[in-house]
Amino acid sequence: MQIISSTPQFLDANIVMYSLGGPHPLRDPCKKILEKIKAQKIRVVTDTEVLQEILYRYFSIKKYTLGELAYNSMVQFCAKIFPVRVQDTDRALKFLKTLPAITPRDAIHAATMMNNGIKQILSTDTHFDLILEIKRIDPVRH
C-alpha cells in the first residue's frame, strides 16, 4: 500500500460531516477522501476545536449517535490532535483582523495548523484559499 503523502494534512470537520449527511454534491467526494484516509493513503491531523465543532453540531440537533460516530472517526483517523493554545488564538486574532471573510473557528484551525508546521488542509471551505501560507485541498478535485 503506497502512502500518497507522508506530510500530514489537516482534516476539517466538514469532510466527515458531509460524508455522514444526506444527499449533497459534496457527500461522495468527502466519502472518497475518508476512504483514502482509512486505507492510509493520506495521513491527517486535526485540532481539538474540530472535535468540539463536531460535538456541538450533532448534539445540538440531537443526533447523538451520528455525533459519536463522527467524533470517534476523527479521533481514529488522525495521527495527531493538536490542542488549541494561546499562541494559536493570538495568531487567529491576526487573521480575523486582516481577513474578514474568515470565521473565528476557521481562523483558529489555520493558526493551529501554521503553528504546528501543517501547510495543507482537507476542507470544503473556500475561504481557506485566502490564507496564502496554507493550501486547501478540495475534496472534489482530490
pLDDT confidence band for 30 (50 / 70 / 90): very high
Instruction: Say yes or no to pLDDT of 4 above 70.
Output: no
Mean pLDDT of the chain: 94
Mean pLDDT of 32-55: 96
Instruction: Say yes or no to pLDDT of 49 above 50.
Output: yes
Give CA–CA dist 114/91, Å, rounded: 9
pLDDT digits (tens, 9 = 90+) for 128-140: 999 999 999 999 9
DSSP per-residue codes, 59-91: HHTT-HHHHHHHHHHHHHHEEEEEPP-HHHHHH
For the CA atoms of 4, 35, 31, 67, the dihedral, rounded to the nearest 10 degrees, stands at -120
Instruction: Say yes or no to pLDDT of 71 above 80.
Output: yes
What is the per-residue pLDDT for 132?
92
What is the per-residue pLDDT for 5?
55
pLDDT digits (tens, 9 = 90+) for 75-108: 999 999 999 999 999 999 999 999 999 999 999 9
What is the per-residue pLDDT for 142?
78
Ordered by where they begin, the domains of the chain are: 5-137 (3.40.50.1010)
Coil, helix or strand for 46?
strand
What is the per-residue pLDDT for 2?
40
Instruction: Say yes or no to pLDDT of 1 above 50.
Output: no
